[in-house]
Structure formats: C-alpha cells, structure tokens
Structure 1
Amino acid sequence: MAQLYLFPLLFTLINQFTSGIYASATFTLVNKCQYTVWPGILSNAGIAPLSTTGFALQVGESRTIQVPSSWGGRFWGRTRCTGDSSSGKFSCVTGDCGSGKLECAGGNAALPATLAEFTLDGAGGLDFYDVSLVDGYNLPMLVVPQGGSGGNCTTTGCVVDLNGACPSDLKVTSSDGEKVACKSACAAFGQAQYCCSGAYNTPDTCKPSSYSQVFKNACPRAYSYAYDDKTSTFTCAGADYIITFCPPPNTSQKSTQTPAGGDDDNNTPLINGTMIYQGAEWEESGAAASAFRSQAIAAAVAIAAAMWRLCHHF
C-alpha cells in the first residue's frame, strides 16, 4: 500500500526537477577586451537577484550563469575598477554600481554604460532582448542567442569603439585624459526632447536627434534613444545567450544556426552590414549548456532509481 503513496511523490519530484532543467537559460559572459572587465548584473524590480550580481573577468576569461526562465534584468561591463571590495572602497571609472564592492547587490550602472537587457519568457513565451545605448556607451558588447527559435532570434550589439568617435560634448575622459565613455544626449543635457519626457514622452513627439543618430549609424541594431524599438528589440524562444565584451571585429566563422530554407553563408546576420560574429566559441558554450542538461537529466534518473528502490523496501 505504501507504494501507492510513494509513486505520486516520485513523479512529482522528477517533474519538478526536470522542469527546472528546461525552465532556465544559460548566460555565458566572455571578455575579449584587452583589459579586465567587471560585469554588473541587476534584476528588474520585483525579481530576485541572480546567484551573483558582479564579478571580475580577466582578459580571455568567461563565466556561465544559470538564469531562471522568468528572469528580467540587465548586464553591463564595469571598467577601470580599483580598490578593496572587502573594505567597501571598490569603485570603477565607468559602469560603477555604487555598492563599494565587487557584487553590485541591487546597484544600477552609473551613466554612461552599454547595457544588455533581457526579459525572459515574456509575451507569447518569447524572450525579449536588446543592447541599449540609451544610457550611453562605455565598451563594445555583443549578444548571441544559442539554440533558440521563433521571433526575431538573431545577434545584436554594438561592436564599434564609440569612445574614439564620440562627439566632444558627450565624451567622458579619465583623470589621465583617455576617452573612456560616451554620454547619451539625455544624460549630457537633461533636456526633455533628448530624454523623451514631459511633452516629448511619446514616439510621435520624441524623434531621433543628431546625437542619437551618431549611435545609430555606428550600431544599427542597438537602441539609440528611448523609442528606438522597431530596429532594436529582438525575440527568441528557449535560447541560451552569450554576452561578449569587445568582440573581435573581423570574426567570420561557421554559423551556429542555419536559418530554415536558407544558405548558411548568405543568411547569417550581419552587424553594421559587414561583420559576422559567430563561430566555434559560441558552439563551445552551447555544448557546455547541453552537457549541463544531460548531467541534470542523469541526476533525475538517479533520483528515480533511488525512489524505486525505496518503494520495494515497503
């Protein structure tokens, strides 16, 4: 009789375990910059923080994070960070989150900063994602979906060094005079027509400015101002994501995903009309995610076997 009660428990446990496996996404952050980057992570209001909210990525390093399916939030890269995190004196020249520590712990990126924004499992079960320059720019960033389908599931980002091309009235320089970031017009001037606020708070009244057009010309798929949705929001179902800081400017390798009915070479997404960002390192991350799921499924099977043996003891 005890078996009759244990079987429902067995199937409930397995279902919950395997549901967790497939209801999460893998985010891999990669540092291709020639300097250390300190990623910051902020969950949207009302959403629990991830297992980490900030860490260091040395040159060439990567780190993988498991993200719940219903998560929403943003990633960015902090640069030129110094100090001792344990003493609360940790700070960064760009992207600082104000926590005084390595972990941002609910702190947002100080302007200007390039942002990768995500809402997972949104309307229609799709993930919504973008790379935004609405809060300005501090370093190149690329988002590559892996293994997803549906929607407009493609690569996006800003891979150009805008610090060098930044208009003089938007540029941010370090104490040693180096250009380290580029403000948005909203952050630089605080005027309603640039911030899409007040009388300019609709798509009809807030139009691109000459400043936002500098961003758009350099990075056509990135948000250049608040209502730049049409060409800057992307959707995907069931994908993992790779976020790369300072992606190589001339990578043109084998595509990880051939569009249905299309030729791989002719249909891979382009950034700025010329540069293709895909290849072996993206595939490697996808393989790592698949390996994780395989291991998790094996663990679920082990749980089932243990429960089965327990049943036969009654």
Structure 2
Amino acid sequence: MDHHHRRRRLLLSTTLLSLLCLAFISEAESASFKIVNKCRRTIWPGLLSGAGTAPLPTTGFALKSGKSRTVTIPKSWSGRIWGRSLCTQHANNQTFSCVTGDCGSGKVECAGGGAEPPTTLAEFTLNGDQGLDFYDVSLVDGYNLPMLVLPKGGKGGGCAATGCLIDLNGACPAELKVARGRTGGGVACKSACEAFHDPRYCCSDAYATPDTCAPSVYSLFFKHACPRAYSYAYDDKTSTYTCASADYIIVFCPPPYTSLKLLGSRKDGALLPLVNKTTMYIASRHAHGR
C-alpha cells in the first residue's frame, strides 16, 4: 500500500512538472504587443483574430493619451490591430460608436467585429512559414491615424520597423477626405477603391492580378508619404516584413521627427525609408490636435 501511495505521488509530481513545463513553453512561445498612444486624445485600439486563430484576452479598450497597454498574443496568431478615434458612449449607456475605425459591436470590445474603412491597419501572421512572423501596416482600406510597428528582440528575418508616421488627414485629396461635420477638419482619408468603387482601384474583376492592377495617383499619394506601408492590393514587395520570435511595440501617432531620429541609427536593410523626408512638412503644416 505504501509503495502504491509513493508511486501515485511520484506520478502526480511528474504530471505537475510536465504541466509546468508545458505552461512555460507556451508562455515562451507567445508574444507581447505593447500598444502605445502618443496621440493628443484618447484612442480605442481594436483587435481582430483571423479565422481559426486563438482568441485574444481583449478585442478592444480605451487608451488615454500618453498611456500604453501590453497584450499577450497566442502562438501562431494572425489578425489585425487598428485605432478607433472620436468615440462616444451614448447617453443611454447602451451603445458605443466611433467616428473612425468603428467595429460595429456597439461596445468598447470589438468582439469579432472588423474595422470600418477608412482605417490604418497593422496586420500580423506570427510563427508562419519557416517560423517567421509576417507583418505590415496597410493603407489599402484607407487611413485614419499614424502608426508605427517596431519589432523588439527578434532572432531572425529583417525585423524592420514599418508604419505610416505622417498625419495624412490634412493633406488628403478632397475626393478622398472624410470630415467631421460640414466644417470640421479631416478625420480620415479613404482609399480610391472605397471612394470610387472602380475595379481599377480595387484590383478586382479584369484588374484582379498584379499584372493588370497598377498603382494609381491616389495609391501613390499614400506611398510617397509612407514608403513602407501597403498602398494598394499588390504592393507586397516593399510592404511585407519578417522577424522571428519578436515582441512588438505598436505606437499610434508616433512623433515623426523623434521616430526618424530613433530609427535613423537602425540599419534594418529595408528597401525604402520609413519616412520620406520630403513629406515631413505635411505633419507640421496640417497639424490639428491629433
């Protein structure tokens, strides 16, 4: 009996040790996303997991100016992160909505809802082909907030920073501009696809291949200001980046000059600069209290 009891205790200890090891391995394989708000106002980050991907501990929250929040991301996660702006908890406290980036849930948590265009998107596929993370910042669905994605502690791949550091809302072409009210300033900038529903801009129908869908004057507006961001559907070569086993810092409204100085010392091997210096004036000339 004593021998049997000792054996059971040993089996239990081994099982607990195995579970602890598994928990440690699982924790080691997860990533952390530190989401930072450098905008002058509160923003509401939204998070959406891709199909068949593990759910996140949060799908949306308020983030005050100057604050940050770190979210643990499961292994092999894919999905997107964006910022919602000018949000309101309505008087009856029953519904919540945002002027830009709204996810349609009626609540602060997006609960599986995606961003309504136009919205700047950070897209991730973690631990994908050859163990690499693939990530990009996309303006294919338009633009609402400046965003920087910065890998930290990566062990493989290029691990380049990417994003769109310039506030494009003031300089947005009139036909793409989303204004708040009749006399309000620009709060977002539509993609040409969203504005005109033309297959040439949407890369659809007869234009559904890289050979037939070329950059447009509108996508080039985005690309010139934000060289590393996706500007239209087939902008892969200069817009998708890789890193392995990294954590990520996602900064909304990064100060362009500070970011440029900080990243100037990083020789990350990317084909295009993070900021096109000739467009830096856009941010100061059209600053309007972001």
| TM-score normalized by the length of structure 2 | 0.87
Structure-2 change in CA distance of 1:13 and 1:193 (3 Å): same
Structure-2 change in CA distance of 1:86 and 1:240 (3 Å): farther
Specify the alignment match of 1:302 in structure 2. Answer: none
Structure-2 change in CA distance of 1:265 and 1:78 (3 Å): closer
Aligned amino acid, residue 46 of structure 2: G
Which stretch shows the higher mean deviation, 92-101 or 2-11?
2-11
Report if aligned partners of 1:147, 1:240 keep a CA contact under 8 Å in 2: yes
Q: Which one of 207, 210, 229 corresponds to residue 214 of structure 2?
A: 207
Aligned amino acid, residue 16 of structure 1: L
Report if aligned partners of 1:85, 1:100 keep a CA contact under 8 Å in 2: no
Aligned amino acid, residue 214 of structure 1: F
Inter-partner Cα distance in structure 1 for 2:218 and 2:66: 33
Report if aligned partners of 1:27, 1:67 keep a CA contact under 8 Å in 2: yes
Q: Deviations over 1:41-79 (max 9, x none)?
A: 111122233111111111101000000011111110101
SS of residue paired to 1:2: helix
Report if aligned partners of 1:85, 1:101 keep a CA contact under 8 Å in 2: no
Q: Deviations over 1:197-255 (max 9, x none)?
A: 11111111111011100000000000000010000000110000010000011116996
Specify the alignment match of 1:14 in structure 2. Answer: 20
Report if aligned partners of 1:149, 1:238 keep a CA contact under 8 Å in 2: yes
Q: Deviations over 1:147-202 (max 9, x none)?
A: 00221211000001111111111011011421100000000011111111111111
SS of residue paired to 1:66: strand
1:217 aligns with 2:224: yes
Inter-partner Cα distance in structure 1 for 2:24 and 2:156: 23
Map residues 44-83 of structure 1 onto 2, 5 A cutoff.
Answer: 44-83=50-89
SS of residue paired to 1:211: helix
Report if aligned partners of 1:28, 1:64 keep a CA contact under 8 Å in 2: yes
Specify the alignment match of 1:140 in structure 2. Answer: 146
Aligned amino acid, residue 212 of structure 2: T
Aligned amino acid, residue 144 of structure 1: L
SS of residue paired to 2:163: strand
Q: Which one of 173, 181, 191 corresponds to residue 188 of structure 2?
A: 181
Aligned amino acid, residue 166 of structure 2: V
Identity %: 62
Inter-partner Cα distance in structure 1 for 2:34 and 2:91: 24
1:271 aligns with 2:274: yes
Structure-2 change in CA distance of 1:49 and 1:5 (3 Å): closer
Inter-partner Cα distance in structure 2 for 1:189 and 1:253: 34
Specify the alignment match of 1:244 in structure 2. Answer: 251
Q: Which one of 17, 24, 29 corresponds to residue 23 of structure 1?
A: 29
Structure-2 change in CA distance of 1:226 and 1:253 (3 Å): closer
Inter-partner Cα distance in structure 2 for 1:111 and 1:41: 15
Shift of 1:17: 1.4
Structure 2 gaps, min length 5? 1-6, 279-290
Structure-2 change in CA distance of 1:86 and 1:41 (3 Å): farther
Shift of 1:3: 5.2
Inter-partner Cα distance in structure 1 for 2:76 and 2:266: 34
Inter-partner Cα distance in structure 1 for 2:57 and 2:79: 13
Structure-2 change in CA distance of 1:103 and 1:273 (3 Å): same
Shift of 1:271: 1.7
| TM-score normalized by the length of structure 1 | 0.80
Shift of 1:84: 3.9
SS of residue paired to 1:164: coil
Aligned amino acid, residue 142 of structure 1: L
Inter-partner Cα distance in structure 2 for 1:86 and 1:106: 24
Aligned pair count reads: 268
Which stretch shows the higher mean deviation, 40-49 or 74-83?
40-49
Inter-partner Cα distance in structure 2 for 1:202 and 1:134: 16
Aligned amino acid, residue 150 of structure 1: G
Q: Which one of 154, 160, 167 corresponds to residue 154 of structure 1?
A: 160
Which stretch shows the higher mean deviation, 77-86 or 208-217?
77-86
Inter-partner Cα distance in structure 2 for 1:234 and 1:41: 20
Inter-partner Cα distance in structure 2 for 1:3 and 1:101: 49
Report if aligned partners of 1:36, 1:79 keep a CA contact under 8 Å in 2: yes
Shift of 1:125: 0.6
Inter-partner Cα distance in structure 2 for 1:90 and 1:142: 26
SS of residue paired to 2:106: coil
Query: What CA RMSD, in Å, does the superposition of the two structures yield over aligned residues?
Result: 2.1
Structure-2 change in CA distance of 1:112 and 1:70 (3 Å): same
SS of residue paired to 2:258: coil
Q: Deviations over 1:279-304 (max 9, x none)?
A: xxxxxxxxxxxxxxxxxxxxxxxxxx
Report if aligned partners of 2:260, 2:275 keep a CA contact under 8 Å in 1: no
